[in-house]
Amino acid sequence: MGGIKYQGEIKMIESKAPTASIMYQLQSLGDALKQFFGYTTFRPGQQQIVEEALQNRDLLIIMPTGGGKSLCFQLPALLKPGLTVVVSPLIALMQDQVDALVDNGIGATFLNSTLSWDAVRSREMAILNGKIKLLYVAPERLLAERFAPFLEQVRSQVGISAFAVDEAHCVSAWGHDFRPEYRQIKQLRQRYPDIPILALTATATKRVQQDIVQQLTLRQPSIHIASFNRPNLYYEIQPKQRQSYNQLFKKVQSHKGSGIIYCLSRRSVDEVAFRLQKDGISALPYHAGMSDIDRSSNQNRFIRDDVQVIVATIAFGMGINKLDVRFVIHYDLPRNLEGYYQESGRAGRDGEPAYCTIFYRPGDVPRLDYLIDQKPDPREQRVARQQLQQIRDYAEGTDCRRTILLRYFGERFKGNCDNCDNCCHPKPVEDWTIEAQKFLSCVARCRERFGMTHIIDVLRGSRKKKVEQNGHHLLSTYGIGRDKSIDAWKMLARSLLHQGLMDETTDGYRVLKLNKRSWEVLRKQRSVHIAITQTPVAKALSDVSPRTAEIELLFERLRKLRKQIADIQSVPPYVIFADSSLKL
């Protein structure tokens, strides 16, 4: 390993940590890396970060999960005099990291609420004796009043080399895991203005970055952003069927190796884990409703490969150090893309191929909407709703999933990734502008007071009472959509909603509304393309025999012909304008 040659030797000064009992005489950072951690090369970005940390700069480090953030503060901690204090949000996380360090013979420890008074005391003594280079602590303890004198004592006796704030996105309400305690961390800056702060996170949105810099009062931080692309992960959406459990079971069966299944509710976690067990898959549940003991025992059994699958709510997995997770399945739609990236990112941290699947059905969305409604703060609701829309767009999207995901993090990924369902099995996209005009004009004709089912009834000329009672059988749009099945119209309507070409009220009645973009479609200023998903019937047919596949092809040709005919018509007679002042 090349590395920068330092003018003098890098030594561990003053420390009596076990690792320092042999005095290291290191010529380069590469040597240090090998000596302390046994690694031969730095991961991308690590070396420069370590160099800057050694210059006592404030740093904001953004790297995907598994990118190797810990080393960015651990190695400098070992090379600088004094103690590095690591702020970490979860006990399990601290335990893992400290265990790993101690295994490497490095003086590290944590202080948290699980420890007896005696244990705390003896750890504090070890720190004051300079035996410890890294102290992990939760923010609430670090900032507790009774901790302040001890911290001061540490500073004067052994020195504090840095504050490392791990999972720093917890400071931001715009992140996926806001923790109010994190907001207090900035007091450290006021108390110890000379001590550098390193903030680390896997969250890359601009918004969260700004928040971290502001909330932690970082001083002209050097910001390092690593690529978020995880080339070994295969991203896919599975349309969730009615018998979704059977579908899930088959999927799990098709995989080898460890996997995580995320569910939305504790109840479904228990249910799915139970049914998988019954069907012969070794699976355990994990959620916040279980006792700490059960939870950590299940987690450990998963990490030890004692059990193949963990079924969990999103409470599971932050900082889990299991590299060989082969699949992550979201049985319910994740709440947002940010969370999805983190959760799916727990797969394939060893760099080997792994699979990330979302089971998706649009019918699951109202449940998530309902959860958002329960949030007390209207601003939070707005953020959450917007984020939900983004994950829906991802699930409904016909573009390369990797491109959509990375664009969300502000990273441009060009073209085909060849490792997602949309790239490997592209869905045919068709121009449905004419159909969209029919649908939207029917919504307008019905005075934007009805839902999807009713609009489709009118379009297809239904004899239902509700249609006649409202006089909708007299509308010019009545019966103009008999040529398409209910499913086809639904597919279009959903797509219009998902593409933001039409709105739907979310007060429980789900009334369709036109928006600015709907009018652009009606005025022929905007065309509508939708990905055609095969209807179950067509799929069943094509599965039966190659001859029916031929029939499908004929239908396909017929559809194209119909479209050509429609295109020839200049202004479709059924496009009507509710607002007569609108010009074509």
- Contact of residue 192 among ligand ADP, Mg ion, none (CB under 5-8 Å per partner type): none
**Using CB under 6 A, which of 26, 54, 60, 65 touches ligand ADP?**
65
DSSP string, 441-483: HHHHHTTT---HHHHHHHHTT---HHHHHTTGGGSTTTTTTTT
CB contact set of 555 (below 8 Å; sequence gap of 6+): none
Distance CA 345, CA 203 (A): 12
Distance CA 228, CA 226 (A): 6
CB nearer to ligand ADP: give 230 or 494. Answer: 230
CB nearer to ligand ADP: give 63 or 455. Answer: 63
Distance CA 552, CA 539 (A): 10
Should residue 322 be labelled a site residue for ligand ADP when binding is judged by CB under 6 A? no
CB contact set of 557 (below 8 Å; sequence gap of 6+): none
Q: Which residue from 187, 180, 179, 91 is spatially nearest to 147, judged by alpha carbons?
A: 187
- Contact of residue 71 among ligand ADP, Mg ion, none (CB under 5-8 Å per partner type): ligand ADP
Minimum distance, C-beta of residue 534 to ligand ADP, in the bound complex (Å): 39
Should residue 66 be labelled a site residue for ligand ADP when binding is judged by CB under 6 A? yes
- Contact of residue 196 among ligand ADP, Mg ion, none (CB under 5-8 Å per partner type): none
- Contact of residue 201 among Mg ion, ligand ADP, none (CB under 5-8 Å per partner type): none
CB nearer to ligand ADP: give 268 or 342. Answer: 342
**Using CB under 6 A, which of 11, 16, 34, 43 touches ligand ADP?**
43
Should residue 150 be labelled a site residue for ligand ADP when binding is judged by CB under 6 A? no
**Using CB under 6 A, which of 30, 68, 334, 348 touches ligand ADP?**
68
**Of all helices (H) and strands (E), which one includes residue 248?**
helix 244-254
Minimum distance, C-beta of residue 166 to Mg ion, in the bound complex (Å): 6
Distance CA 178, CA 174 (A): 8
The residues in 71-110 that bind ligand ADP, with binding defined as CB under 6 A, are 71
Distance CA 368, CA 245 (A): 19
Distance CA 451, CA 124 (A): 65
Should residue 259 be labelled a site residue for ligand ADP when binding is judged by CB under 6 A? no
**Using CB under 6 A, which of 15, 30, 60, 67 touches ligand ADP?**
67
Minimum distance, C-beta of residue 226 to ligand ADP, in the bound complex (Å): 9
Distance CA 16, CA 129 (A): 7
- Contact of residue 67 among ligand ADP, Mg ion, none (CB under 5-8 Å per partner type): ligand ADP
CB nearer to ligand ADP: give 20 or 71. Answer: 71
DSSP string, 82-126: SEEEEE-S-HHHHHHHHHHHHHTT--EEEE-TTS-HHHHHHHHHH
Q: Which residue from 89, 77, 86 is spatially nearest to 183, judged by alpha carbons?
A: 89
Please, are residues 83 and 49 in contact by the beta-carbon 8 Å criterion? no
Report helix, strand or coil for 39.
coil
Q: How many separate helices (H) and strands (E) can be counted in the chain?
A: 24, 19
Residue with the closest Cβ to Mg ion? Answer: 69
Minimum distance, C-beta of residue 372 to ligand ADP, in the bound complex (Å): 28
Minimum distance, C-beta of residue 179 to ligand ADP, in the bound complex (Å): 17
Minimum distance, C-beta of residue 68 to ligand ADP, in the bound complex (Å): 3
Count of residues of this chain found to bind Mg ion when the rule CB under 5 A is applied? 1
Count of residues of this chain found to bind ligand ADP when the rule CB under 6 A is applied? 13
CB nearer to ligand ADP: give 36 or 262. Answer: 36
The residues in 59-118 that bind Mg ion, with binding defined as CB under 5 A, are 69
> Interface residues with ligand ADP (CB under 6 A)?
39, 42-43, 46, 63, 65-71, 321
> Interface residues with Mg ion (CB under 5 A)?
69
